Amino acid sequence: MGLLSEGTPLSWSETQKHSEHVRQHGIRQFISLYYRLKDRTKDSLKWGDEVEYQLVRLTKSAASSSDQQQQQQSQFASQLSLVADQILPELQREEIENGGRASTLWRPEYAAYMVEGVPGEPYGHLLAHLNLVEANMRKRRAQVQSLLGSDVYALTLTAFPRLGCPDFCYPGAKPTPEGGVSCSAFLPDEVIYSGHPRFRTLTRNIRERRGKKVAINIPVYRDLNTPDGLLEPPTEHTAAALPGHIYMDAMGFGMGCCCLQMTFQACSITEAYLLYDQLTPLSPVLLALSAASPVHRGWLADTDTRWRVISGAVDCRTDEEMGLKPLERNRFRIAKSRYDSIDSYLSADGQAYNDIPLTMDEDILRQLMEAGVEPSLSRHLAHLFIRDPVSLFSEKIHQSDTEESDHFENIQSTNWQSMRFKPPPTNSTIGWRVEFRCAEVQLTDFENAAYVVFIVLLTRVLLTLQIDLLMPISKVDENFNRAQQRDAVKRQKFFFRSGAHLYDNDPELVKAELREFTLDEIVNGCQDFPGLVPLIRQYLSMSHTDVDTMCTLNQYLNLIQKRARGELLTTAAWIRKFVTEHPVYQRDSRCTEAISSDLMAKCVEITQGSYRPDELLPCTSSKTSDTLPQVISDAELYLDNRPRRNGPK
């Protein structure tokens, strides 16, 4: 969700005037907190997930049987329900009444049809904590659901298939391509959450900074009857549409997608560098395994993830910055959108793998280096700080460099990258954290818990078994491209270290020996690589916990293994199959209102557990619990870096 400062938002021309001010004070704020907190150690492992929900209205359709198009219609109609502002105060009531303490916490998200829920408190270092995740997710879903009308459902859907199609939202609203915030030909401004000014301000300022509305073009999936050329008749408001591509023109197409994120607190800044770096090569793997969004604006895409959509949706670069015009008014050529994969590793060992050029604000770099901030972190920040602030509140312009951090957070929280390195907030007991941001959200709490637990266990494997997954960052980027492709799990190979070099720290050797593996090989293992799940099982075999937790972990790992093997479909593959096998599908790549509504009806059943497609989900369920086991024996194993046979008394 990012920083939610209160106040009066400034226009882009006003914000732009304060751009240098925000950067200069932002970096001083960082230097001040770095000095206070860099040597902070002994923070314990804490972690938590973030789940985003879409509110989908599903009604019995009113079509009469005499309707000529009966054959083409569904018995349902589905729309996005713009009610987040109505339910959020109720969702947040417990937190507000109890001074911040509640079993679940709720935040607004970009769209008026979205909410975000996180556990009331971060989880800790016990393996048994992993068994609480799904129960808490269920509780969250039940909470949202209880506040919705009988025909609205909280779905953990990455992308609503007909976002931006006629009548996709309720109450209805019309796009305003001639003016307003988005100026979209498809998305009315009413879909932007209006309870906080951040979201509209970001939308307008990104568009104005860029000098025109955003243009997202995603290759369409080519079927027998897919139209050639432009997918729709051109209008003056769709001039940036490319032939053979699904064209979208607003921030909401990306930021209106949902995802699944995890944050980890490390025991020190050095361990945070390590986690940030080691999780980086895993991010494309998780993107491919969690792929869940093959349909955009009513068309089947040739990609399976939201990544390119959201990257384009907040791309505020000007033509000069994109390299389309000579640099005159702007300072830099910039290779990527503000929303994209990371560009550099932070740990000392990572430096040899930083092989893509890093555009940096040299003045900021100099200040950081002169202040003694670690060179790799200095470069990382000098890179983030090439961006302008795109949301600023008049009350927040003048800030203390030592007591506040809003200017720093302003730039930091609008660099939406695959990983985020999070310094401790000022005036808190929170330590150095790392956020894993690329996973797509799955339909069921079971799956979301499984993906979260998979990543948490991988962090333990990384720290305990001390394997090294680093590879040139250019190869991570290449893996990112591949991860987004249709059926990446089955059809792509990914660069990865071979097993022989898992403990190697000679970068030259590793670069020379990098191999391409299928996701099955990476997750389940093969001759050249032990496999991520077998490594996790090795870690678990050194650990003890209660039987229920162990049983749940096995169920989760089985899901991940089967998805990687292709024995179970990814959510994206299942959705694509549902669309292309639907009786009214015309092999024209269109996900019509009828198909989409039938799909939403199925998603509701899957979410509620009344329907379980064998090809998507295993037939087992977990032993998740909303409380820790009563008796935790001495042998209870700590999730901490190193397993201890005898836990502290």
User: For 82, phi and psi rounded to 5 degrees?
Assistant: -90, 65
H helices of 465-515, where? 473-483, 488-491, 507-513
Piece of the chain touching Mg ion by CB under 5 A; list 90-98, 110-118, 183-191, 616-624: 110-118
CB 280 within 8 A of CB 346: no
Which of Mg ion, ligand ADP, none does residue 47 bind (CB under 5 to 8 Å by kind)?
ligand ADP
256-315 residues in contact with Mg ion (CB under 5 A) are 261
One character per residue 213-252, x = contact with Mg ion (rule: CB under 5 A) = ----------------------------------------
Residue 83 beta carbon to Mg ion: minimum distance, rounded to whole angstroms: 18
Piece of the chain touching Mg ion by CB under 5 A; list 3-11, 17-25, 47-55, 494-502: 47-55
Total residues at the site for Mg ion (CB under 5 A)? 4
Structure tokens at 218: 């995603």
How far apart CA 606 and CA 617 sit, in angstroms, is 9
Kindly compute the dihedral angle of the four CA atoms of residues 169, 172, 174, 180, in this order, to the nearest 10 degrees: -80
Which of ligand ADP, Mg ion, none does residue 26 bind (CB under 5 to 8 Å by kind)?
none
Dihedral sign of CA atoms 604, 609, 611, 615 in order: positive
Which of Mg ion, ligand ADP, none does residue 38 bind (CB under 5 to 8 Å by kind)?
none
Strand ranges, E, within 186-309 = 216-219, 245-248, 260-265, 295-296, 299-300
Residue 619 beta carbon to Mg ion: minimum distance, rounded to whole angstroms: 32
Q: Which CB, 286 or 594, lies closer to ligand ADP?
A: 286
Q: Which CB, 263 or 592, lies closer to ligand ADP?
A: 263
Q: Which CB, 6 or 362, lies closer to ligand ADP?
A: 6
How far apart CA 413 and CA 50 sit, in angstroms, is 16
One character per residue 482-521, x = contact with Mg ion (rule: CB under 5 A) = ----------------------------------------
Q: For Cα atoms 117, 196, 146, give the angle at the middle one, nearest 5 degrees.
A: 35
What's the number of CA atoms in the CB half-sphere (13 Å) around residue 48? 16
Q: Which CB, 133 or 557, lies closer to Mg ion?
A: 133
Q: Which CB, 1 or 352, lies closer to ligand ADP?
A: 1
Q: Which CB, 255 or 510, lies closer to Mg ion?
A: 255
Residue 591 beta carbon to ligand ADP: minimum distance, rounded to whole angstroms: 30
Which of Mg ion, ligand ADP, none does residue 189 bind (CB under 5 to 8 Å by kind)?
none
Residue 422 beta carbon to Mg ion: minimum distance, rounded to whole angstroms: 9
Residue 88 beta carbon to ligand ADP: minimum distance, rounded to whole angstroms: 15
Closest CA to 134 of 434, 507, 445, 511: 445
Q: Which CB, 122 or 566, lies closer to ligand ADP?
A: 122
Residue 433 beta carbon to ligand ADP: minimum distance, rounded to whole angstroms: 5
Instruction: Indicate whether 414 belongs to the interface with Mg ion (CB under 5 A).
Output: no
Asked whether the bond before 171 is cis by omega within 30 degrees of 0, the reply is: yes
Residue 135 beta carbon to ligand ADP: minimum distance, rounded to whole angstroms: 15
Residues in CB range of 596: below 8 A, 6 or more apart: 78, 161, 162, 295, 298
How far apart CA 603 and CA 153 sit, in angstroms, is 10
Q: Which CB, 120 or 161, lies closer to ligand ADP?
A: 120
Q: Which CB, 265 or 518, lies closer to ligand ADP?
A: 265
Cβ of 548: how many Cβ atoms within 10 Å? Answer: 15
How far apart CA 366 and CA 324 sit, in angstroms, is 29
Burial group, residue 619, by CB count within 10 angstroms (0-12, 13-18, 19+): exposed
Q: Which CB, 266 or 572, lies closer to ligand ADP?
A: 266
Distances (CA, A) of 530 to 185, 514, 522: 50, 15, 8
Residue 51 beta carbon to ligand ADP: minimum distance, rounded to whole angstroms: 9
What are the residues binding ligand ADP (CB under 6 A)?
Answer: 1-2, 46-50, 118-119, 122, 263-265, 430, 433
Residue with tokens 């194993």, as numbered in its chain: 637
Which of ligand ADP, Mg ion, none does residue 118 bind (CB under 5 to 8 Å by kind)?
ligand ADP
Dihedral sign of CA atoms 622, 625, 628, 633 in order: negative
Structure tokens at 430: 């929170």
Determine the residue type at 61.
S
Which of ligand ADP, Mg ion, none does residue 180 bind (CB under 5 to 8 Å by kind)?
none
Instruction: Indicate whether 1 belongs to the interface with Mg ion (CB under 5 A).
Output: yes
Residue 53 beta carbon to Mg ion: minimum distance, rounded to whole angstroms: 10
Q: Which CB, 280 or 597, lies closer to ligand ADP?
A: 280
Residue with the CB atom nearest ligand ADP in the bound state: 48
* Selected binder of Mg ion within 116, 315, 321, 374 (CB under 5 A): 116
User: For 105, phi and psi rounded to 5 degrees?
Assistant: -125, 145
Which of Mg ion, ligand ADP, none does residue 116 bind (CB under 5 to 8 Å by kind)?
Mg ion
Closest CA to 358 of 330, 381, 339: 381
Q: For Cα atoms 533, 536, 540, give the angle at the middle one, nearest 5 degrees.
A: 135
Q: What residue ranges bind Mg ion (CB under 5 A)? A: 1, 50, 116, 261
